[in-house]
Amino acid sequence: MRLRLAALMLLLAMPAAAQDSVTVEVHVTDLQGTPIPARVHVVDSRGHRFPPGIDESFLSHSALGGYFYTTGVFQMRIPTGTTRISAGRGFEWEPEQFNVVLLHDQVLTITLSQPFNMRAAGWFGGDPHVHTRHEPIHYDIDPTEIHWIAQAEDLAQTWCLDNGYEFSGGLHPVSTPDAAIYYTYEYRNQVCGHVALLGLREYIGQHCCGPPEPVYPMLCHLRSSWAPAWDEGMVLAHAHNGAGFFEEDGWPGAGLGRELPVLAARGQLDALDIVGYTLDPSIYVDDWYRLLNCGLHVPPSAGTDNCVGNYLRNPAGGYRVFVNEGAGATHDVAQWTAALKAGRSFVSDYPLIPSFTVDGAGAGETLDYPGPGASVSVDLRVESALPLTRVSVIRNGTAAAAVNLPPGATGPVVVDTTLQVDLTCSSWLALRVDGYSTVSHPVNPLLFAHTGAVYVDLDGEPTRYTAPAGYFLDWLDSLETFVELRDNWDSEAQHIAVLFAINDARAYYGSLFRIAPETFALRAPALGETLGIAPPQHFDWDEAIDPEEGDRISYTISVADDSLFTHPRTLPTTYDSQIDAYLLLSPGATYWWRVKATDRGGHATWGTPPVAWFRTQSGDPSAVVEGPPPGATLRLWPNPAPERVWMRVKLTPGEDPPRIEVVDASGRCVARSSGGDVRGPDRGLFCWSLRDASGRTVPSGLYWVRVLRGEARAAAAPVMVVR
């Protein structure tokens, strides 16, 4: 421990041991004895943090057990006894933590060493998401104070997303070569997500706030209209923040990055935060891995969304992204942003990764080898001032090779090695580092770092997994449902633009499915069978099998009165292998029917036989039973519905909410709004949880939703329940 004690003249005449408190002057220095800015944690002998509350001179905070900032020299008056002190400044410096018995006034000198120098190798750490003007505010942080914090945290680049405050379209004049400050904007779409606009030169508008705010323009529309230059970028924040997808009122629902799969599929995601304080959990790589497994190149980032003026918050830069501007480079904000967009980055909460290459290619680069397989050489160097447990080469989301470190090891740690990794398909490779520390300085005892990916394409084919593609297609279905339920478009053109963007993304993920469903047999009505004309009519067929994981098959059933299907009647699409239909059939007639199975890639297979026919019984045409009428004022999402169905009823101003009933194919009422089985209304919005009046889940099949005003039926529409 690098700690030096020097006794000072006592301020009081009484003996030191009899004092209740002492004055301690602390110097935090480098190895040359020069005072340096740092973050300090002090817990006194009574278990209280210093300073005990909000203290502007120290910019004190209560998080992490209490911390504050020093320019290098400070004084504190604290109780006598054993005091725990820790100090550090970023991840390249070795933090010091120790207990000291304080019985009299004295001077402490804490000397911090810097075992690693990432800047000399062209790596510059930054926090792309910091706020100095975000309520609630306990400190009015000005540019000189955020610059002080950046120096104490050893942040080369700090992006302050304060939406107009100190914005100039360039670095702030307070910036120095060791700590650059750039004030810019956070663009907030409360439905689609929040993004940090890096390198922004001119104001391009805001989209926040107001309940309920229109969806348009989406983040992809902002990105297209902005057309960022090579050194400007857009980073999506908190795409997984613990909110339910259909939650919207307040944080975290109004902030969830619901547009993630749209931006990624359209090539408009410059980087994605995979660590940060507003993620849940704070280290969340699952969706990022899924994007990479869909063949998408998405660089990792680490915006803390820290509010430095809030006494309760963790420090800026507790998670950060290191960007490689090139060996021997001096920091340049334009080059930093361009390198982040290119994927030359790793995120960390302490471990450092100065070197990671695959056959000589670094993160963000692509290798193209002939198939069907390959063996690649992974060269890596990992450094850490705190203990590590494991260094893993991640291949397509799982560990392909690893170096396990002995338990109980202490820092500093260096791992420098080469590993061989075999590939049997197109893959991406990245490096993950894990560790654990009880030191107060890290914001998370779980130490973590992760590089961007090196992409290895075999025979020119990018990485392609269908399970994550299906996951994102489900996500897009939910997004469409969500925006349709809000139904607050300023114009139909905006409505179309939003649906176009969603369908554009659907086309990409759908293209990963390439195998058509296998053929399947039509079962009922059997060939030549005679049916009654009273609805519902039952159609049944075998399930079509599709071998691709994550695929989902939908069925389209058509009925016609001629074998050429000149004027077919198409029934609602279903994901079940049967359907009860309401058809107006003529007595003594012949009808033809067929079923088409379509997968998520648009590949279709017809049932066997391709066309089947049936007859209807002869009888009085007046016996025909008419099915419920289609609804003009009722909209349902999703349809088919696997978990719940949302209903939007258009209301006229001042109109009382209507009653909603759900009936099964036999006409039996299974749920109603008056009984509480259908929840609502909210601006004409209802929700049915697919349960009956007894709380039991209803079976798959066709149901009808009826809108009743008084005793009159105002509208009705079918919904298919799938399990």
Predicted pLDDT of residue 144: 97
* pLDDT exceeds cutoff 60 at 16: no
Predicted pLDDT of residue 683: 56
pLDDT, tens only, 294-351 = 999 999 999 999 999 999 999 999 999 999 999 889 999 999 999 999 999 999 999 9
Quick one: what percent of the chain has pLDDT higher than 70? 92
Three-class secondary structure of residue 497 per DSSP: helix
Cα 620 to Cα 249: distance, rounded to the nearest angstrom: 57
* pLDDT exceeds cutoff 80 at 182: yes
Q: How is residue 260 annotated by DSSP?
A: H
Instruction: Tell me the pLDDT band of 652, cut-offs 50, 70 and 90.
Output: low
Domain made up of 3-111: CATH architecture:
Sandwich (2.60)
CA distances from 271 to 235, 243, 298, 597, 599 (A): 5, 21, 6, 38, 31
CA distances from 291 to 93, 344, 460, 468 (A): 34, 17, 18, 7
Assigned CATH for 351-464: 2.60.40.10
* pLDDT exceeds cutoff 70 at 41: yes
Question: What is the average per-residue pLDDT within 703-712?
Answer: 78
* pLDDT exceeds cutoff 70 at 632: no
Q: Can 3-111 and 351-464 be said to share one CATH topology?
A: yes
Query: Where are the domains positioned within the chain?
Result: 3-111, 116-348, 351-464, 468-510, 522-623, 634-721
Superfamily of domain 116-348: Metal-dependent hydrolases (3.20.20.140)
Which of the residue ranges 260-264, 445-449, 466-470, 532-536 would you say has the lowest mean pLDDT? 532-536
pLDDT, tens only, 479-516 = 998 998 888 888 899 999 999 999 999 999 999 999 99
Predicted pLDDT of residue 654: 63
Instruction: Tell me the pLDDT band of 519, cut-offs 50, 70 and 90.
Output: very high
Predicted pLDDT of residue 6: 35
* pLDDT exceeds cutoff 70 at 363: yes
634-721 under CATH 2.60.40.1840, yes or no: no
Q: How is residue 35 annotated by DSSP?
A: B
Q: Which of 546, 554, 480 is nearest to 722 (CA)?
A: 554
* pLDDT exceeds cutoff 50 at 4: no
Three-class secondary structure of residue 339 per DSSP: helix
Question: What is the average per-residue pLDDT within 561-585?
Answer: 88
Name which residue leads in pLDDT, 555 or 629: 555
Three-class secondary structure of residue 377 per DSSP: strand
Predicted pLDDT of residue 672: 86
522-623: CATH topology is Immunoglobulin-like (2.60.40)
Phi/psi of residue 396, nearest 5 degrees: 55, 35
Question: What's the longest Cα–Cα distance across the chain?
Answer: 117
Predicted pLDDT of residue 409: 74
Where b means 16+ CB within 10 Å and e means fewer, 424-459 reads ebbbbbbbbbbbebebbbbbbeebbbbbbbbbbbbe
Cα 107 to Cα 115: distance, rounded to the nearest angstrom: 26
Name which residue leads in pLDDT, 19 or 135: 135
Q: State which amino acid sits at residue 363.
A: A
* pLDDT exceeds cutoff 90 at 455: yes
Q: Which of 264, 298, 14, 305 is nearest to 131 (CA)?
A: 305
Question: What is the average per-residue pLDDT within 40-64?
Answer: 96
Greatest mean pLDDT among 16-25, 513-522, 532-541 lies in 513-522
pLDDT, tens only, 201-248 = 999 877 777 667 889 999 999 999 999 999 999 999 999 999 999 888
Predicted pLDDT of residue 675: 62
* pLDDT exceeds cutoff 80 at 193: yes
Predicted pLDDT of residue 643: 79
For residue 225, what is the enclosing H or E element? helix 219-226
| HSE of 419, CA atoms in CB hemisphere, 13 A | 22
Question: What is the average per-residue pLDDT within 600-609?
Answer: 96
Predicted pLDDT of residue 679: 64
Q: Which of 36, 40, 73 is nearest to 59 (CA)?
A: 40
Phi/psi of residue 118, nearest 5 degrees: -70, -30
